[in-house]
Amino acid sequence: MGDFERRLDTIWRIESPRLIAALARVTRDLALAEDIAQDAFVAALDRWRDGGVPENPGAWLMTIAKRRAIDRFRREDTLRAKTGELQRSTAHSISIESEIEMLDQDVGDDMLRLMFIACHPLLSREARVALTLRLVAGLTTAEIARAFLTSEPTIAQRIVRAKRMLAEARIPFELPSQAERMGRLSTVMEVIYLVFNEGYSATTGADVVRPALCEDALRLGRALTHLAPESGEVHALVALMELQSSRSAARAQTDGTPVLLADQDRSRWNRSSIRRGLSELERAHERGSLGPYGLQAAIAAVHARAATFEQTDWHGIAALYDALAEMMPTPVVRLNRAVAVGMAFGPEAALPLIDELEDEGALREYHLLPAVRADALERMMRYSEAALAFERAATLAKNERDRMFLHRRAAFCRNR
Amino acid sequence: MRFMVMVRSTPDIEAGVLPTTEELTAMGEFNERLAKAGLLLEGEGLHPSSKGARIRFDGENRRVIDGPFAETKELIAGYWIVKMQSKEEAIEWFRQAPCFNNGGTLEIRQIFEAEDFGENITPELREQEARLRIGGLGT
């Protein structure tokens, strides 16, 4: 790829989301919007190769896109008029054309509208993620495929199908009403957090593509804080992602072996991520009581503020988990809460919470439930019970490293 | 990757001439575009060097020199911290920055990062375990 092509790639990445967002507003058709944007880009490429890239490529692209949109619209009209299908009144045609004329006027909410559409509840989670990364974050199909360890045709098809589905359902392109807004924002947040976790818990060796997803998610999240600044949870989501990624450099050894929080070298935590995370959390606080993302961010913030593991405010963390478990009583949250309670008030307080989960049969296949129980029993010096629980955890463990680790702890308890 | 984009000073800025309303508006619009693209981390303007000071280190000696400083074009008048995918992306964005006083220079420099994602990838289950054992879902 030459310098010129590289530069165009960069310009596409910067300009395409805005271009597609504006085109979607006037065409009310994502596929068509993307088509016209690409058309405009191809036209620009031809002209810029000889004439050079103009000082304001975005405005330039917008002008070409506008012309293309009007051309297409007129061509379709002529076609329909010929076949006698045209039912549009002249007045209607004029109103569409004047809407297209307004293409380059930033009506402000174009990007937000595009996010809402890409994350429409009608679509599957996978489709929302692919569409958001493609249209809002400006990633190529190839980049998305690499990040999700799948083939390019798979992602391309997923995107095509999603766009078709949205077109067939004739979903409205207007911004959702105030009453609906919070619900729709949470589908956008869910997609962003999914992308983040996909990158954060990447399972493949030295692949740097997947962690780049963390950066994409953060970029989308930061954008959303400016597009929907009124929502505390959006700020909280960014806080949570900043605080989690602040530990990236400390959370694994060079060979990929994870380092537990207790053993992490806190000097390797990224202070600027922490600072940004804490100030986003503050903004979330200013906007009212914390929601699920806010509480998780607040928990991460307690860790971030502790100079050493020993200085961690476990009482604070346990209280935050109490609130989180009330709001989101999933077994995993409740198990986390049990661990926090154990750290704050001792294993005796944690054990009943763990037993409750076991009695319900929740997380039956999850090795961490017996592992957490074993840990509590060990601390209470009930060694033979602890050994049994560790053994059970070992049989449930999904990989060899975990299994060996749990067997070792079982053996240690048996020998006490 | 993060970049620091520095605004080099001009004689006007050093003389304490404040930006006009038009300039401030243009700057505000540019910053808003950066923010709405999720790229802006920070951005600040600096007072003229007459309000600043330098500390010169020479062996054991420390010498404090009060501003203003002569070499106007080498001085920094403000900066952005932005997150970009590449230096090329940073250049493309800042070519479109509003221009002050019919001139000036922006300098784009990459910031060193402590994190090195490449060597720090952890298997998902181990990560979950780490998170659980320390009792933080959001850790």
pLDDT digit string, tens, across residues B73-100? 889 999 999 999 899 999 999 999 987 6
> pLDDT value at position A260?
76
Minimal CA separation from B111 to chain A, in Å: 12
CA distance A368 to chain B (A): 7
Q: Which residues of B touch A211 (CB under 8 A)?
A: 117-118, 121
CA distances from B68 to A96, A294, B47, B74, B101 (A): 59, 46, 11, 12, 20
The domains of chain A are located at 1-107, 108-172+181-213, 229-312
Residue range(s) defining the domain that contains residue B19:
2-116
C-alpha to C-alpha distance for A180 and A112, rounded to whole angstroms: 14
Spatial CA neighbour of A136 closest among A296, A291, A20, A218: A20
- Over residues A47-80, the pLDDT tens digits come to 999 888 998 899 899 999 988 888 888 887 777 6
Does residue B112 belong to the interface with chain A, where contact is any CB pair within 8 Å?
no
As beta bridge partners, residue B53 has B66
Q: Which residues pair with B61 in a beta bridge?
A: B58
Residues of B in contact with A397 (CB under 8 A): 125
* Cβ-defined contact of B132 to A339 (cutoff 8 Å): yes
A&B contacts, CB < 8 Å? 175
Q: Is the Cβ–Cβ distance between A231 and A182 less than 8 Å?
A: yes
- Cα–Cα distance between A73 and A83 in angstroms, integer? 16
Per-position pLDDT tens, chain B of length 139: 899 999 999 888 899 888 889 888 999 999 999 999 999 999 999 999 999 999 999 999 999 999 899 888 889 999 999 999 899 999 999 999 987 666 789 999 999 876 544 444 334 444 444 444 444 433 3
Which of B40, B120, B134 minimises the CB distance to A260?
B134
Amino acid at B34: L
- A391-400 confidence digits (pLDDT tens): 999 999 877 7
What does the pLDDT read at residue A206? Answer: 45
- Subunit contact A299:B137, Cβ cutoff 8 A: yes
Could you read off the pLDDT of A31-47 as tens digits, one per residue? Answer: 899 999 999 999 998 89
For residue A54, which of B26, B85, B96 has the smallest C-alpha distance?
A: B96
Structural domains counted in chain B:
1
Residue B6 domain flag: yes
Q: Report B:38-97 residues touching A (Cβ under 8 A).
A: 38-41, 83, 85-86, 88-89, 92-93, 95-96
Do the domain assignments include residue B37?
yes
Q: Is residue B136 part of a domain?
A: no
Give Dmax (Cα) for chain A.
Answer: 91
**Contacting residues of B for A200, CB less than 8 Å apart:** 127
Size of chain A, expressed as the number of residues it contains? 416
Cβ atoms A277, A304 nearer than 8 A: yes
Q: Count the helices and strands in chain B (H runs, E runs).
A: 4, 6
Any idea what the CATH number is for the domain that residue B62 is in? 3.30.70.1060
Cβ–Cβ gap A247/B124 under 8 Å: no
The answer to whether A114 contacts chain B (CB < 8 Å) is no
Alpha carbon of B11: minimum distance to chain A alpha carbons (Å): 26
pLDDT of residue A71: 87
pLDDT for res A226: 92
**Backbone torsions φ then ψ of A248, nearest 5 degrees:** -50, -45
In a domain, B132, yes or no: no
CB B22 within 8 A of CB B101: no
pLDDT digits (tens, 9 = 90+) for A264-301: 889 888 888 999 999 999 999 999 999 999 999 999 99
Q: How far apart are the first and last CA of chain A?
A: 65
Which residues of chain B neighbour A404 with C-beta distances below 8 Å? Answer: none
Residues of B in contact with A335 (CB under 8 A): 132
- Residue B121 domain-assigned (yes or no): no
Residue A212 has a pLDDT of 84
ipTM value, please give it. Answer: 0.78
Q: Residue A46 has which token pair? A: 């031809």
- Assess A175–B contact: CB distance below 8 Å, yes or no: no
| A224 interface with B at CB cutoff 8 Å | yes
pLDDT interval class at A6 (50, 70, 90): confident
* pLDDT on residue B123: 41
